[in-house]
Structure 1
């Protein structure tokens, strides 16, 4: 199905001077020079100041030997330094490699070794962990030794702090190195970056094996997030609380890149904490808050919410297989959020494939992820590759300008993911309705078969979410001697609820087909998630 035939050409790509990220940064600094760009704790800088800081970081990258195409990694939480380091590296012609802050040392070292990163920006201590010490252990470096033995291509490590071990550099020391590089050299390097050059390599979450590096270009990034900003209604002067982690496509691109495109103010938050989020929303008059449904549910249910002025909030963008209709209605009703949208995307398609549109009814926003973005094709196919009719579940395929060029130096995995005629196999199970709205029902690997019937956990989870005492649910298949497999539900109860497993199973028998009814229920305080907010089904299956 050609999901956007009527919209094709409706949203133009970025102008020529914004077809690469260095040009975007320069234009934003000029156009929004005196507008507040970033608020990070007590630090407040304008777009003009952000442009100057990025150029200083780019100069330092050049001084330390970063050449066009070199990979530069950032392993740090959401901060102003992350923004400046990342944009500085890209302005110097480097390819950004964001590293998951929840990775342990060995996982981070794998990404650094796999991409042969030349330069790493790393936080000091975060969430009680010394990232420097963790990296040293993983790379086999003993106290007082020189370069990291396990990472011979990593020429330099810059600690985004005031202190660093003797063999690493502090952020201040690093920036000082750029003083000898003339502004003209930085401009020349930035101008040499072409729209088709790789802008970043983002690694998949790796919940089913080694993570793979998704290669996306400058032109793809800017074109997609020009469209995202237009469809969402992000505007100049918006104030955007970025809780989604920068190492994730949504945090970096729907956050930093989108704000640069529109002249919105970025308020990065390193860790999602409801109290901190409420304080930021009120104190900074936040107008835009994208994030997973759990984030917004936690805000709505917080006992101190009424003591915070959230009246400035006007735009929420969320997305997941399960978005309760109640959540959409409460955001609109209780908080007065004018625009609540859902979307679907994956790193392999630059982070965005479908979006709801402003004005869509609450039922469409809650039950679907909207329609394909302009110049994108979405189809649903069966196991034989044949296209299915609306309403039939199958694998979601995507084709368009934003599909990755491939996994980094991995033609075999790239060949599995992209068909010869350019369709990206997402591995997601979905249903298209007659209007072209996509509903993601599950991952192909999560589906289980109950007595010959295909059971889709996300569908069952959405049904369970209708129970008044259920906050969240995750369903996995477990072996059964008679039926082959049956469902087991892991459930988070609402505070104060006394719901039992027998109660929920009995309720389920009244609300859903028998093969969908969970045969076992286990209550948890919270569902296990990775740093991107995805429920770790593998962990639940291993219980």
Structure 2
């Protein structure tokens, strides 16, 4: 897949490879809808999805039926194998219906952040080559504007009701023939989420049916969720973490998914109490709230058996405090990335206690190398370097970006994550830092390059750089270092407001510092390490 020019030539002969302690799993040669819903009929009237706010319930038989009927309607409207459908929606009980319906047509789904601006949405639609959008009434203005900008959109459908648009609800009782495309799981795309990778602007991550379905099989021996369990889906389905951990995996295993459209602490705690939730998948800000917020004491959370945190680094002391408060043995962790479908490591429930802060051990059929940042040589247990991974969950590549694919995946199929970590002799992985420049705000990726380009478009800005800094709640937030144009009277509040008006809320610049110049290498590359050092020194009392 990749040239050998972007990686050391001796990577063909790694001197130390960490391998999974679990037996290998066979690649799953099924379309994702079959891999997940193949046993739906056996689960019958067992609840598959419950809306936590309204109580609306979709059982397994109806989920399967709805996805088939919607697929038939979409196919009758012209959705074909190889096309891309954009799913632009918060979490709902219909989100999986649309996802599996598109898959039954042989189309790939590109999931769009519900808070994306019109311009951000348009860029993704155009880059992905989307032919249709499924959205909700509340997001319709954004979807319409993005469709106009991107072009090539044949239809915008809604999951609820909106004048002038067909509703998914009205397409569930049609009598069109069900499509039967010839899907090649190893090569055909099931999902096209967008990720910034290690650097740069968002790129379409090509995940095949085999990638995602096999990753579910890899996770199966290390998870216990099944019939009778209730999983709370508050993390977004549009993100690969939510798509796998909160949608595909529990539905594959016959569990019940209780759906929340967004995180609100009171609604979240109410849902756990009222629906007797057994499993919660979280990001660090949710763990922080569970550990420290006084509201938690008002609720009965005794049904909880497992709390797993991923998407961003979690402080070991915070994890321990949260586990103590909830009466759990531990807060489990996991590791992965969009380009890995997404999982490679998980702390399995019931395992011998994981070392504090560990993100787990290797999934079946997955290999790990730790590579020196200085020499490129392979390192052994306890040594710290770049995390490099190989397995059937490695993406097909970045859509339309062969050079960036080659920079990420070497000639032997090893994916270079840009994360820095170490693995002990027992296989427990610790992620200690990042090579990559991405900012992770509450689990969402923010590319500094995007914000810098936006800042440089301001007439009063001569130069700008953005890094992630830690706020008082322990979240990583974007901070802009700005050089004013000569004679310009630009304030920090003006910079913050300027960016906020042009990006999704999670991308907002939250701190600003003015400099005389941005430190740069002779090549023009921003020396972010100098800015981080400056930040550390200013934070030192």
Fold equivalence (TM over 0.5): yes
Tell me the residue number matched to 1:492.
472
Shift of 1:73: 0.9
The 3 A distance-change label for structure 1 pair 80 and 5 is closer
Match of 1:463 in 2: none
Determine the C-alpha separation between the residues in 1 that align with 2:468 and 2:58: 50
Residue correspondence of structure 1 range 377-396 to structure 2 within 5 A: 377-383=367-373, 384-396=375-387
Deviations 1:454-489 (A, max 9, x none): xxx99xxxxxxxxxxxxxxxxx9xxxxxxxxxx996
Contact map agreement 2:319 2:330 (CA 8 A) in 1? no
Q: In the alignment, is the contact (CA less than 8 A) between 2:320 and 2:330 conserved in 1? A: no
Q: 1:55-114 CA deviation, whole Å, 9 max, x = no partner?
A: 111111111101111111101000012121111111121111111122111111111111
Q: Which residue does the alignment assign to 2:412?
A: 421
1:491–1:108 distance in 2 versus 1, CA, 3 Å = closer
TM-score (norm 1): 0.75
Q: How many equivalent pairs are there?
A: 443
SS of 1:397's equivalent in the other structure is strand
Query: What is the root-mean-square deviation of aligned Cα atoms in Å?
Result: 3.0
**Deviation of 1:348 (Å):** 0.7
Alignment of structure 1 residues 30-109 onto 2, 5 Å: 30-40=41-51, 41-109=54-122
**Residues 1:316 and 2:307 are matched in the alignment:** yes
Query: Residues 55 and 209 of structure 1: is their aligned pair in 2 closer, same or farther, counting only changes over 3 Å?
Result: same
* Other-structure match for 2:167: 170
SS at match of 2:268: helix
User: Hey, what does 1:136 align to over in structure 2?
Assistant: 144
After TM superposition, give the deviation of residue 343 of structure 1 in Å. Answer: 0.9
Question: Could you tell me which of 338, 363, 381 is aligned with 1:347?
Answer: 338
- How far apart, CA to CA, are the structure 2 residues paired with 1:323 and 1:254? 18
SS in structure 1 opposite 2:86? strand
1: CA distance, partners of 2:505 / 2:426: 28
Partners of 2:241 and 2:311 within 8 A in 1: no
Q: Is the 8 A contact 2:386 2:419 kept in 1?
A: yes
Partner Cα separation in structure 1 for residue 468 and residue 281 of structure 2 = 31
Following the alignment from structure 1 to structure 2, what is the Cα–Cα distance between the partners of residues 115 and 488? 28
Q: Given the alignment of the two structures, is residue 432 of structure 1 paired with residue 420 of structure 2, yes or no?
A: no
- Structure 1, unaligned stretches of length 5 or more? 126-130, 140-147, 448-456, 459-475, 477-486, 495-527
Which residue number corresponds to residue 158 of structure 1? 157
Contact kept in structure 1, 2:88 and 2:133, CA below 8 Å: yes
* Cα offset, 1:13, TM superposition: 5.3
* 3-state SS, counterpart of residue 218 of structure 2: helix
SS of the residue 2:190 aligns to: strand
Check whether the contact 1:396–1:430 (CA below 8 A) recurs between aligned residues: yes
* Further displaced range: 20-29 or 372-381: 20-29
Gaps of at least 5 residues in structure 2 are: 1-15, 441-447, 449-466, 475-498, 515-541
Question: For residue 370 of structure 1, what is the aligned residue in structure 2?
Answer: 360
* Structure 2 CA distance for aligned equivalents of residues 314 and 410 of structure 1: 43
CA contact (8 A) 2:20 2:361 kept: no
Q: For residue 7 of structure 1, what is the aligned residue in structure 2?
A: 22
1:199–1:207: structure 2 CA closer, same or farther, 3 Å change rule? same
Q: Distance in 2 between matches of 1:199 and 1:76?
A: 18
Q: Would the alpha carbon gap of residues 387 and 225 (structure 1) be closer, same or farther in structure 2, given more than 3 Å must change?
A: same
Q: Is the 8 A contact 1:28 1:260 kept in 2?
A: no
Provide closer, same or farther for how the CA distance between residues 534 and 136 of structure 1 changes in structure 2, counting only shifts above 3 A: closer
Question: For the structure 1 residues 60 and 235, does the alpha-carbon distance in structure 2 shift closer, same or farther, using more than 3 Å as the test?
Answer: same
- Contact kept? 2:420, 2:435, Cα under 8 Å: yes
- Mapped partners of 2:239, 2:473: distance in 1: 29
1:415 Cα deviation from its structure 2 partner:
1.0
Shift of 1:302: 2.8
Q: Does 1:250 align with 2:241?
A: yes
The one of 213, 219, 235 equivalent to 1:222 is 213
SS of equivalent to 1:121: strand
Matched, 1:181 2:176: yes
Report the CA distance shift for 1:51/1:5 in structure 2 as closer, same or farther (over 3 A): closer
Secondary structure at the counterpart of residue 301 of structure 2: coil
Distance change >3 Å, CA 488–CA 211, structure 1 → 2: closer
TM-fit CA distance, 1:342: 0.8
How far, CA to CA, are the matches of 2:91 and 2:133 in structure 1? 16
1-structure distance, mates of 2:254, 2:410: 38
Cα offset for 1:275? 0.4
